[in-house]
Amino acid sequence: MRSFCVLWLLACITLAPPFAAAATPAATLPQDSAYRIPPLLLRDQQGTTFAFASLRGTPRLVGMFYGSCQMVCPLEIETLKRIEQTLHRRGGTPVSVLLVSFDPARDDVARLKQMAAEHHVQAPLFRLARPEHGDEGMLAGVLGIAYRPLPDGSFSHNVVVALLDADGRLRATTDASATIDPAFVQAILDLQAAR
């Protein structure tokens, strides 16, 4: 099984579509960078298409969601907004947020735009995105997010938001529940102070 996974990963990297050439070359990334996963092309709520690896250069918060979620995902977005407010109060600067849908069949650009309006979030600081090409499951694995579809069309999933540094290395995580994790906020502030 392990040899199959290695061969599959090599095939993904070798047979990467043309958009991957515009992304940051994996050879220049640290070994533990999330941007080293096979190419993942995303489209945000404004209809802008971008490669996940193109986000290198700026620390950011990255998580996953699905648009028809009625409880946990809306809470995740609101908690991230409160983290931004806490950073501001503590003298930090805004940190970019990327939430990637694991339900691309239903989360089209119109739905992402509707969600952004409902939660009063705007790109480029706060991006809700859907996978256009690539394996969002690999991103979920790197972030520690587990999800599976349920018969009613909803998903069973955990909530993890990761703080990635400018090179895509995982610096801290939070479950983005209703309470803000002070250690997570401090990790963001520490990363901003080190730049």
The answer on pLDDT for 143 being more than 60 is: yes
Band of pLDDT at residue 9, cut at 50, 70 and 90 = very low
Q: Please tell me the total count of domains within the chain.
A: 1
pLDDT band at 12 (very low <50, low <70, confident <90, very high): very low
Q: Please, which pLDDT band fits residue 142 given cuts at 50, 70 and 90?
A: very high
Given this model, what pLDDT does residue 27 score?
62
CATH number at 73 reads 3.40.30.10
d(C-alpha 143, C-alpha 162), whole Å? 6
Q: Render pLDDT for 118-136 as a digit per residue (tens, 0 to 9).
A: 999 999 999 999 999 988 8
Mapped onto helix, strand or coil, the DSSP state of residue 54 is helix
If we measure between CA atoms, which residue out of 183, 150, 193, 169 comes closest to residue 60? 169
Reported as a pLDDT band with limits 50, 70 and 90, residue 161 is very high
Contact 43, 53 (CB under 8 A): no
What is the pLDDT, as a whole number, of residue 18? 39
What integer best gives the mean pLDDT of the chain? 87
140 lies in a domain?
A: yes
The predicted pLDDT at position 8 comes to: 34
Token pair recorded at residue 161: 């938001």
Residue 25 located in a structural domain: no
pTM of the model: 0.85
- Evaluate whether residue 2 is within a structural domain: no
In a domain, 18, yes or no: no
**C-alpha to C-alpha distance for 60 and 165, rounded to whole angstroms:** 7
User: Whole domain around residue 39: which residue ranges?
Assistant: 32-194
In 3D space, the residue among 96, 97, 37, 101 whose CA is nearest the CA of residue 64 turns out to be: 101
Hunting for tokens 């690539």 — which residue is that?
Answer: 134
Would you say residue 81 lies in a domain?
A: yes
What's CA 84's distance to the chain center, in Å? 16
